[in-house]
Amino acid sequence: MSAFWSAWVTVITLAVILGCAWLLFQTRKSEAYKESTSETVGHEYDGIAEYDNPLPRWWFQLFVATVIFGLGYLALYPGLGNFQGLLGWSSHGQWEEEMQHAEEVYKPVFAKYAALSVEDLQKPENQAGLQMGQRMFQNNCSVCHGTGGTGAYGFPNLTDNDWLYGGEPDTIKQTIVNGRNGGMPAWGAVLGEEGVRDVASYVLSLSGREVDQEAAARGETQFQALCTACHGQDGKGMHALGAPNLTDDIWLYGGSFEQVAHTLRQGRNGVMPAQKDLLSDDKIHLIAAYVYSLSQN
Known binding positions for heme c: 141, 144-145, 184, 227, 230-231, 272
Crossing angle, helix 57-76 and helix 3-29, to 10 degrees?
A: 160
Sign of CA pseudo-dihedral 270, 153, 276, 278:
positive
At residue 56 the predicted structure's pLDDT band, cuts being 50, 70 and 90, is confident
Residue range 106-129, pLDDT digits in tens? 888 888 999 999 999 999 999 999
pLDDT tens per residue, range 140-184 = 999 999 999 999 999 999 999 899 999 999 999 999 999 999 999
Which residue in 257, 253, 149 sits closest to 210, CA to CA? 257
Lowest mean pLDDT among 23-37, 173-187, 213-227, 250-264: 23-37
Q: How many residues does the chain have?
A: 297
| Least-confidence region, from 53-67, 147-161, 233-247 | 53-67
Residue 254's pLDDT band (cuts 50, 70, 90): very high
pLDDT of residue 29: 65
Strand ranges for 71-190 from DSSP E: 180-184
Answer with the residue of higher pLDDT: 107 or 13: 13
What is the number of alpha carbons within 13 Å of residue 197 lying toward its C-beta? 6
Alpha carbon distance 247, 227 (integer Å): 14
Helix (H) or strand (E) holding 131: helix 127-140
pLDDT at 36 over 70: no
Task: Give the per-residue pLDDT at 70.
Answer: 94
How high is the pLDDT of residue 222? 96
Query: What pLDDT does 272 receive?
Result: 94
Instruction: Report the C-alpha gap between 103 and 42 in whole angstroms.
Output: 66
**Is the pLDDT confidence value at 33 over 80?**
no
Q: Residue 38 — pLDDT band, cuts 50, 70, 90? A: low
Q: Which residues contact 154 (CB under 8 A, 6 or more apart)?
A: 252, 253, 268, 270
Please compute the mean of the pLDDT values over residues 220-236 and round it to a whole number: 95
Give the model's pLDDT for residue 167. 94
Mean model confidence pLDDT for the chain: 91
The 3-state DSSP composition of the chain as helix, strand, coil percent (nearest 5) reads 55, 10, 35
Which residue ranges make up each domain of the chain? 3-91, 109-179+275-296, 182-272
Q: Is the pLDDT of residue 13 over 80?
A: yes
Residue 30: is its pLDDT beyond 90?
Answer: no
Q: Reply yes or no on whether the pLDDT at 99 is more than 70.
A: yes
CATH class of segment(s) 109-179+275-296: mainly alpha
Q: Tell me the binding residues.
A: 141, 144-145, 184, 227, 230-231, 272
Q: pLDDT value at position 34?
A: 54
pLDDT of residue 131: 94
pLDDT > 60? residue 31: no
Asked if residues 219 and 202 have their Cβ atoms less than 8 Å apart, the reply is yes
Between CA 174 and CA 276 the distance in angstroms is 10
Domain topology for 182-272 = Cytochrome Bc1 Complex; Chain D, domain 2 (1.10.760)
Q: What's residue 297's pLDDT?
A: 73
What is the DSSP annotation of 20-75?
Answer: HHHHHHHHHHSTT-SS--S-EEEEEETTEEEE-PPPPHHHHHHHHHHHHHHHHHHH
pLDDT of residue 107: 86
